[in-house]
Amino acid sequence: MIGLFDSGIGGLTVVRELLRQAPDASFVYLGDTARTPYGNKSKETIERYSLENAAFLLSHGATSIVIACNTASALAVDALRKAYPTVPIFEVITPAVEDALAATHGRVGVIATRATIGSGIYQAKLKEARSWKLEAGKGKQGLFIQAIACPLFVPLVEEGWLNDDETKRIARRYLSSLRQTHVDTLILGCTHYPLLAPIIQRFMGKQTMLVDSAASVIRRVLASGEIDRRGEQKYFLTDLSTRSTEIARTWLAREIVFALASVSA
């Protein structure tokens, strides 16, 4: 069984992609809504929260872990792999970087939250992976990387303003420099952002390929064979609210019943 966790409800876009690619997959999802957001927490706190989340998922039958959160992927994956060396652990950053490098002609854009952009994780992994490809004789010289923080995208998505004029204006303001520099590949570096993909694609144009980190990581999970097809699907939040249920219903196009989870040590 696949276990997925996020700092809140954004990771439901990863669940949505899992359901799209493997509707009968068994999984357990945990959204840490009581302690969100993670982006303003220290590395030590994010590691502790992530370890507690993973322990909860494993106690509920998970045999692999998907970190459906960019911040936790950036800061806690090493701690999780050290704590659970025999458990397959997937994060959302590396698969997106790999897919972007496979697609790009040398001009990559990244959009994410301030915390993720500020961490430099995407920029570092793009350069690291690109260097490896160059050494192997598989790449092209001159990788251009432009990273832009788009902090208002998350509240717009959670408000359900996916095609509003206000959202289009904000997207235009955030993305203008990426369009001007002619990036040919754009990583959606936050799990909320795929829901704004139609607006982003229209503004950037068909010449820019969007890389959805949710789709990238789920392809890796399914390719690994870490999946069972019994269709057992469970949803937990650390704080329950009507709004979370409404968002889940809209994003997943199905009725979701969340159970309350207690994950603190």
DSSP 63-119: SEEEE--HHHHHHHHHHHHHH-TTS-EEESHHHHHHHHHHH-SSEEEEEE-HHHHHH
Q: Which two tokens stand for residue 149?
A: 């923080």
Catalytic residue among 62, 69, 92, 221: 69
Active site residue 69: yes
Is 150 a known active-site residue?
Answer: no
Instruction: Give the phi and the psi of residue 11 in degrees, each rounded to 5.
Output: -65, -10
8 Å CB contact between 238 and 231: no
Give, to the nearest 10 degrees, the angle between helix 165-180 and helix 197-204. 50
| Residue 2: strand, helix, or coil | strand
Residue whose C-alpha is closest to residue 97's, from 88, 110, 106: 110
Point out the catalytic residue in the list 28, 150, 186, 190: 190
Q: Among candidates 159, 17, 7, which has minimal Cα distance to 167? A: 159
List the catalytic residues. Answer: 69, 190
